[in-house]
């Protein structure tokens, strides 16, 4: 009895240190900091395997002890041919357990998606592809998909009207189709009852307001003047005058380096050329800011039918009721252009 007790005690004395070492090792594997990068943005594309991910983490020097991470990945069942995709922010001091739990669950970190200043839907797709997993072609295909357009009463020419410039929180790997639906939801929020009522009173559809706002945006950098400029175009529409908006000519020609619209440009045949065609162009010529959209909805009521830029570089315009007044203002501006050597 005593002999057995002594033997058990010896075995226990031998095993205790070993168990302690194992415990320390387990604690180290699970709970000791292993991310050494200050802040690492990990983007895992669809179809990525664990092996590809591990190679990336080793190559970029993210982990202090890559082998311990690799071991725990096996223990936690993360070593798969396809792992959850997404964008994950790894911070300095994160443990193997914290990293693997985050990656395994697909608990990704959202991005702040900001867009504005897009000339057309193709350029918008290209811009967004820099911030999202989806490439520009797949984004453009979704933007112009007949099913998604028809559902919201849109055409390819008005597809951009569902994109209200702002900053939105989305996931990096959002599908193009889900992005379109999300943008439509955001557009519906923007077009609240007050804005819809103002559009109906003009009267213009939401898409027409957006289109006119795109012209106002390109005509004037002066935000205070935009309601006045919008009022001019609305007056022209009411009396049946052509809009004769220079930015629509530039868009129609497709040469965005044009600084001064000349006689030769205004005869370029395109439905977007408002010197040749009555009414609004088929769709927006630019992505207008919310300021420009609201400028149309809150257009100044006046009798002006004409405007042109004033001499100088302050983005101000001279407005006129009659063609004679406008010609005088235009002559003053053209003389200034010649003097400045602007062609």
Q: Is residue 22 part of a domain?
A: no
- How many CA atoms within 13 Å lie on the side-chain side of 230? 31
pLDDT surpasses 90 at 194:
yes
Same-domain status, 159 and 250: no
- Cα Rg of the chain, angstroms: 31
- Whether residue 27 is predicted with pLDDT greater than 80 in this model: the reply is no
Check whether residue 96 and residue 116 sit in a common domain: no
pLDDT-derived band at 259, boundaries 50, 70, 90: confident
Q: Which runs of consecutive H residues, i.e. helices, occur in 34-120? A: 50-59, 66-75, 96-105
Residue 328 contacts residue 322 (beta carbons within 8 Å)? no
Q: What's the confidence (pLDDT) of residue 6? A: 56
Do 120 and 183 belong together in one domain?
yes
Read off the pLDDT of each residue in 35-50 and give the average, rounded to a whole number.
94
CB atoms within 10 A of CB 4: 8
pLDDT: is 312 or 278 the higher one?
278
Predicted confidence (pLDDT) per residue in 262-306, tens digit:
788 999 999 999 999 999 999 999 999 999 999 999 999 999 999
Nearest alpha-carbon partner for 190 in 215, 167, 152, 164 = 164
Is residue 25 over pLDDT 90?
no
**Residues 133, 155 within the same domain:** yes
Q: Are residues 213 and 281 in the same domain?
A: yes
Residue 86's domain comprises 27-105
The answer to whether residues 198 and 297 touch, using CB atoms and an 8 Å cutoff, is yes
Residues 129 and 177 in one domain: yes
Looking at per-residue pLDDT, the higher value among 233 and 2 belongs to 233
CB 169 within 8 A of CB 111: yes
pLDDT in tens, 104-121: 999 999 999 999 999 999
- Check pLDDT > 50 for residue 19: no
Whether residue 320 is contained in a domain is answered as: no
Q: Is residue 241 part of a domain?
A: yes
The answer to whether position 329 is within a domain reads: no
Q: 169 and 143, same structural domain? A: yes
Phi/psi at 235 (nearest 5 deg)? Answer: -65, -40
Contact 132, 172 (CB under 8 A): yes
Say yes or no: 72 and 53 in one domain.
Answer: yes
The CA distance from 226 to 250, in Å, is: 20
Kindly state whether residue 91 falls inside one of the protein's structural domains: yes
Residue 35 in domain: yes
Domain boundary pick from 77, 105, 133: 105
* One domain for residues 98 and 184: no
Residue 220 has pLDDT above 60, yes or no: yes
The pLDDT value given to residue 193: 97
Q: What is the pLDDT of residue 343?
A: 67
Query: Are residues 128 and 63 part of one domain?
Result: no
- Domain count for the chain: 3
Domain termination residue (choose one: 60, 89, 105): 105
Instruction: Please tell me the predicted confidence (pLDDT) of residue 35.
Output: 95
**How high is the mean pLDDT of the chain?**
91
Asked whether residue 207 falls in the same domain as residue 276, the answer is yes
Tell which of 51, 80, 105 closes a domain. Answer: 105
Q: What is the mean pLDDT of residues 59-88?
A: 95
Q: Looking at the structure, do residues 100 and 116 belong to the same domain, yes or no?
A: no
Alpha-carbon dihedral sign for residues 197, 202, 204, 208: negative
Name residues whose C-beta falls within 8 Å of residue 175's C-beta, 6 or more positions apart in sequence. Answer: 134, 142
DSSP string over 306-320: EEEEPSSSS--EEEE
**Residue 311: inside a domain:** no
In a domain, 326, yes or no: no
Tell me what the mean pLDDT of segment 329-339 comes to. 90
Q: Per residue in 132-171, pLDDT tens?
A: 999 999 999 999 999 989 988 999 999 999 999 999 999 9
């Amino acid at each position: 009895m005593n002999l057995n007790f002594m033997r058990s005690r010896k075995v226990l004395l031998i095993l205790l240190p070993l168990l302690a070492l194992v415990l320390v090792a387990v604690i180290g594997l699970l709970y000791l900091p292993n991310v050494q990068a200050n802040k690492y943005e990990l983007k895992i594309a669809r179809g990525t395997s664990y092996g590809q991910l591990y190679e990336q983490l080793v190559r970029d020097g993210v982990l202090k002890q890559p082998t311990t991470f690799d071991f725990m990945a096996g223990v936690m069942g993360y070593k798969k041919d396809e792992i959850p995709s997404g964008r994950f922010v790894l911070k300095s001091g994160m443990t193997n357990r914290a990293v693997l739990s985050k990656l395994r669950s697909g608990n990704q970190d959202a991005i702040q998606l900001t867009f504005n200043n897009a000339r057309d839907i193709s350029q918008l797709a290209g811009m967004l592809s820099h911030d999202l997993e989806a490439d520009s072609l797949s984004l453009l295909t979704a933007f112009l998909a007949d099913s998604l357009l028809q559902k919201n009463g849109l055409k390819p020419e008005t597809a951009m009207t569902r994109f209200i410039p702002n900053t939105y929180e989305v996931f990096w790997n959002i599908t193009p189709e889900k992005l379109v639906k999300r943008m439509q939801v955001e557009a519906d929020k923007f077009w609240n009852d007050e804005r819809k009522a103002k559009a109906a009173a003009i009267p213009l559809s939401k898409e027409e307001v957006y289109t006119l706002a795109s012209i106002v945006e390109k005509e004037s950098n002066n935000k205070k003047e935009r309601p006045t400029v919008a009022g001019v175009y609305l007056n022209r529409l009411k009396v049946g005058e052509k809009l004769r908006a220079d930015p629509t000519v530039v868009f129609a020609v497709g040469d965005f380096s044009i600084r001064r619209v000349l006689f030769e440009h205004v005869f370029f045949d395109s439905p977007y050329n408002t010197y040749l065609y009555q009414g609004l162009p088929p769709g927006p010529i630019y992505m207008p800011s919310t300021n420009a959209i609201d400028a149309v909805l809150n257009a100044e009521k006046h009798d002006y039918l004409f405007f042109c830029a004033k001499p100088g570089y302050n983005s101000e315009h001279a407005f006129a009721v009659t063609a004679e007044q406008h010609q005088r203002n235009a002559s003053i501006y053209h003389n200034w252009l010649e003097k400045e050597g602007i062609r």
